Chain A
Amino acid sequence: METKNIMIVGVGGQGSLLASKLLGHLLMEQGYDVKVSEVHGMSQRGGSVVTYVRYGDRVYSPVIDKGEAHCIVSFELLEAARWLEYLRPDGQIVTSTQQIDPMPVITGAAEYPTDLVAKMQAAGAKVDALDCLALAEEAGSSKAVNLVLMGRLSHYFDFPEEAWQEAINACVPEKFLELNRKAFALGQKA
């Protein structure tokens, strides 16, 4: 099969590493060749961060390039917009509607763009925008946004429910399991 590409984008510190770990585990268990590419170091300090997840029969490049992502999962609205050019023409965006002002906006050097969902749709993207922060808080912690997003993402893939649950069990520490299962279910249902 053709290699499939999922990008996970957000702001450093938002927890995208758990999301990519979970996806990587799920895809490996499904028998695919998998590559997951992360960025560590300076950009983790509140900068724009991106993780590439690729799977298929044989995956070569560890990164996803412009026009190649089948899906962009975003923890933050502006970050979804930033990486829009990486989406394929028929690609899907799954994004949290959370907005975090970057430093140029905080200092007044730039403005946070308005109506981003509509603007991304105008550029041809299919956008599924969801208040994941509220759902994560409903599940019990604002830190569970990653699992809410994964729950939402599960709509767009044909993987069996048990496979997702197994991946959650494998990747989440025992004491946070119930919280994260709940967050996943809330994202799935929303």
Chain B
Amino acid sequence: MAFKKFIIIVVCLLIMGKANNAIAQIAEDLIVIANDIGVSSLTKKQVISYLKGEKNFWEKRKKVLIALPSSKSELATIVARSIYKTSSEGMQKYWLSLVFQGRADPPMFFGSDEETIKFVTSNKGSIGFIRTKNKSQAVDFLIEIKTD
């Protein structure tokens, strides 16, 4: 029940956020960080494309390393919804299927923002999500989200 409520609130925020803010977002309270991917901003569409394993390489043939929130993390649901349009379990199953088909290397799952930040900052070509409040810890790796 609490879970469901949480989702509704998030969705509302998302809608409102989209209406109020001039700058685009993936979701309320969510920012994207990445390490040396060749650009400093991405559209939402592009982010989804990379996160879904459709493109395995950045601009300069650098491998895409994906960092996702694990089922233990609070961000799991938001990321699953906004990127994969499904639940957290669905996100797991999506990647299971992809691994079986051999179409992409599987992502790393992390339980907290600290772990995510640690991974992204020390791996070139990686991309991940953290909460807005932890922005300062990864200030060199912030990615701006453009409108489509």
Is the pairing of A and B real? no
